[in-house]
Amino acid sequence: MAFLADLKTEMKKVDWPAPARVWQITVVVFLIVALMTLFTFALDLILGALLFR
């Protein structure tokens, strides 16, 4: 049971971000993933066209 007491104590020390900040970070992550997906798709099309004529 000491573990759970220690866990509760440590969790109180965590600096949790505000919900608005979590949403901002989430949107940024989704945008980066979308951009990287488009970049990879475009690169695949270009390299596919050049290498497999």
Tell me, what's the pLDDT at 45?
97
* Model pLDDT for residues 11-53, shown as the tens digit of each residue: 999 999 999 999 999 999 999 999 999 999 999 999 999 999 8
DSSP labels for 8-50? Answer: HHHHHH--PPPHHHHHHHHHHHHHHHHHHHHHHHHHHHHHHHH
**Nearest residue to 22 (alpha-carbon basis) of 30, 10, 33:** 30
Tell me, what's the pLDDT at 1?
85
Domain boundaries, the chain: 17-53
Tell me, what's the pLDDT at 53?
83
CA 30 to CA 33: how far, in whole Å? 5
